[in-house]
Amino acid sequence: MWRNTPSGWGLTSIVLHWLSAIAVVGLFVLGWWMTGLGYYDDWYYLGPWWHRSIGMLLLGLTVLRLIWRGCQPSPEAHGQRFERLSAHLGHIALYALMLLVLVSGYLISTADGSGIQVFDWFEVPAVVSGIRNQATLAGLVHWYASLVLIALAAGHTLAALKHHFIDRQDTLIRMISPSLSRRER
Amino acid sequence: MLKRTALAALTAATVIPMTQAQAADYVIDTEGQHAFVQFKISHLGYSYILGTFEEFSGEFSYDPEDVESSSVSVDVDVNSLNTNHGERDKHILSDDFLNASEYPEATFRSTGFTRTGEGEGELEGDLTLHGETRSITMDVEHVGGGEDPWGDYRQGFEGTTTLALEDFGIDMSDFPEVMHELELYVTFEGIRQ
């Protein structure tokens, strides 16, 4: 149920996956929107507050997710050799880009040495600060890496739909329910 | 050589009356951080934001007996801005305001000096900021000068001026009137070369 098997994802992996998906898309839309807000907008401070808080939670979640992924078996990939290889590389790139976007975002807000307040719950301390022009450089990385991440996530979605509707494999289904995953080989 | 120069200086100091000191070139002591380029701008008319440009360099020429011939030149690295708030620094450096990626350097080249009183004057010069060059006038004051404890000779000044940001092509129209200008404060010591 909670653990992965060679034929399907466990509930832990499934929940982690969809929480990440919602957070990534939500943060992207929120980030895009809030950076265009005027100084007098009600959300001028509130938008970034949510963005930072959710971002830091997602960073923690992603670290847990990678640990879980590392110590659990992964279900066998479907498709031809080329598809399996590109899927594998794509997944590595998704994880790497998520970390890059999250860490660069963290480096923007902590550039002055102050920590990041996660809602009103706790503070993530600044670890690296005072690099020359840190906020601006981290901001550039954050922006471009986010664009690449979203593009890759869109490709990831299309690939899942292709497996589901064209190849008629359980790639998408097994990321939704552990009990519905089936072998089709 | 060094000995002879020192001897000459000593002779000059003793023989020639102090009133005949000569113009000398000084390098602003940024290495020892006895130099600051700061600004102060209103926040909504409720308080002030203070900021500093941490990286800059410059030199000046100063003759206490002929202050009107003084000249100053300063180059500021705009990206070294610090207002103690990383996200705000990023915003100020973005193309909403200073556009530092396009205009990474701000410069000041003096064009004239008018004495207005004992140790006081008005320094005129061209300030280039945000790619726009405007003539500005800065009220400057000679703070002090003399030998330092480490064998050098220093002169120190401070100066202030008010800049209308619009003059430098920085659009502040989204902000209240009080935020449309800022006060620039510069103070430094120069080490005589």
Q: Using one digit for the tens of pLDDT, what is the confidence trace for A66-93?
A: 999 999 988 888 888 998 999 999 999 9
Contacts of A129 in chain B (CB under 8 A): 86
- Per-residue pLDDT, B3: 55
Q: Which CATH superfamily is domain B21-192 in?
A: Lipid/polyisoprenoid-binding, YceI-like (2.40.128.110)
**ipTM computed for the complex:** 0.80
Contact B24, B193 (CB under 8 A): yes
Q: Which residues of A touch B85 (CB under 8 A)?
A: 112, 114
pLDDT of res. A177: 85
On chain A, the residues whose CB falls within 8 A of the CB of B87 are 48, 108-109, 111, 135
Residues 6+ apart with CB under 8 A from B128: B105, B106, B107, B108
Maximal CA-CA distance, chain A: 59
Angle at A81 between CA A76 and CA A84, to 5 degrees: 45
Separation CA B115–CA B141 (nearest Å) = 10
Closest CA to B87 of A112, A121, A19: A112
CATH class of A11-175: mainly alpha
Task: Kindly state the average pLDDT of the residues A6-19.
Answer: 92
Confidence of residue A184 (pLDDT cuts 50, 70, 90): very low
Query: Is residue B57's pLDDT more than 90?
Result: yes
Residue ranges per structural domain of chain A: 11-175
pLDDT surpassing 70 at residue B5: no
B101 at the A interface (CB within 8 A)? yes
Other CB atoms within 10 A of residue A13 CB: 22
Q: Is the dihedral of CA B27, B29, B30, B34 positive or negative?
A: negative
Per residue in B123-141, pLDDT tens? 999 999 999 999 999 999 9
Which residues does residue B127 pair with via DSSP β-bridges, in sequence order? B108, B134
